[in-house]
Amino acid sequence: MELAGALQLGELAAAFAALPVFPLFDTAYFIVSVLYLQYAPGAVEMSRKSPFASWLCAMLHCFGSYILADLLLGESPLDYFSNNSSVILATAVWYLIFFCPMNLFYKCVSFLPMKLIFVAMKEVVRVRKIAAGVHHAHHRYHHGWFIMMATGWVKGSGVALMSNFEQLLRGVWKPETNEILHMSFPTKASLYGTILFTLQQTRWLPVSEANLIFFFTMFMIVCKVFMTATHSHASPFAPVESFICPVFFGSVSSGHTSHHHDQHRASHEVSHPSPPPAKSKEELNEGTRKRKAKKAE
């Protein structure tokens, strides 16, 4: 029974890995990507003032990972735009979300039950892109582990890594929102996932690629759907990271914290000087008597 169950699970994973992502899953990927653009402050106003800039931002949200991966591998960043079907499909999604009469399309796809389905389908595409990026880099650089990990990482989270450039197209410059400084859950998950796929590709992880795609996709779907449904930004990796990171990378010492606090307090005192000491009651009475004497004279 256990062997039969394992065989059935292997067949299920193989069938899932062979499932085509175009056009159904790609459509869901484009919908969620353009929805995130629509949520950005000023994105709707920009679509009215400059539709071309809005379209470029939407294309970056849909194909930014491919562009960044091609740049890393020394290929033309415009290669993926030769796929006319994908570009036309992404353009249609962008137009319907921003310009559909009465916002009917946006209201339908942003309805939470529908949105959760699209989010789950997007994670299917994300994991496929990570696996394809690692496989592509392994084909060109057989022993380049870091090249495989870098390519798989940007394939899974290239849109977030290019967020500052996309903000420039919208006329916004916020360097403090750099994704590398403040990694979101998809970026971290893509990084950890590409490490697993690199180990699998180099035969250090004894598991088939189909099984890894299946189980990692299930993990991503469960986490991302739960976070979207609960509007949570807490990373599932936080408990493990809070335990491991202080051991291997240390933590901020109390001395640094107190020194920073002292500097902040000193700057606060300089910028806001303390008011002069209040006069005593006797001094106030003395001043009142002198003013009355001057008036009498």
Q: What confidence score (pLDDT) does residue 280 get?
A: 46
How many angstroms separate the CA atoms of 133 and 195, rounded? Answer: 12
Distance, in Å, from the CA atom of 30 to the CA atom of 62, rounded to the nearest integer, reads 6
Model pLDDT, residue 256: 47
The total number of structural domains that make up the chain: 1
In a domain, 194, yes or no: yes
pLDDT of residue 107: 96
* 222: in domain: yes
253 lies in some domain: no
Asked if residue 256 belongs to a domain, the reply is no
Examine residue 249 and state whether it is found in any structural domain, yes or no. Answer: no
Residues in Cβ contact with 86 at an 8 Å cutoff, skipping those fewer than 6 apart: 22, 26, 62, 63, 80
Nearest to 223 by CA among 132, 154, 111, 122: 122
**Confidence at residue 293, expressed as pLDDT on a 0 to 100 scale:** 45
pLDDT for the residue numbered 239 = 86
Residue 243 lies in a domain: no
pLDDT by residue, tens only, the chain of 297 residues: 454 455 578 889 989 989 999 999 999 999 999 999 999 988 999 999 999 999 999 999 999 999 999 999 999 988 888 999 999 999 999 999 999 999 999 999 999 999 999 999 999 999 999 999 999 999 999 889 999 999 999 999 988 988 888 888 888 888 778 888 889 999 999 999 999 999 999 999 999 999 999 999 999 999 999 999 998 888 888 888 888 888 888 876 544 444 444 444 444 444 444 444 444 444 445 555 445 444 443
Is residue 2 domain-resident?
no
* Amino acid making up residue 89: L
DSSP string, the chain: -HHHHHHHHHHHHHHHHT---TTHHHHHHHHHHHHHHHHSTTHHHHHHH-HHHHHHHHHHHHHHHHHHHHHHTT--TTGGGG-HHHHHHHHHHHHHHHHSGGGHHHHHHTSHHHHHHHHHHHHHHHHHHHHHHHHHHHHH-TT-HHHHHHHHHHHHHHHHHTHHHHHHHTT---GGG-TTTS--HHHHHHHHHHHHHHHHHTT-S-S-HHHHHHHHHHHHHHHHHHHHHHT----TTHHHHHHHHHHHH----HHHHHHHHHHHHHHHHHHSPPPPPPPPHHHHHHHHHHHHHHHH-
pLDDT of residue 253: 53
The parent domain of residue 128 ranges over 10-234
Q: Are 36 and 111 in contact (CB under 8 A)?
A: no
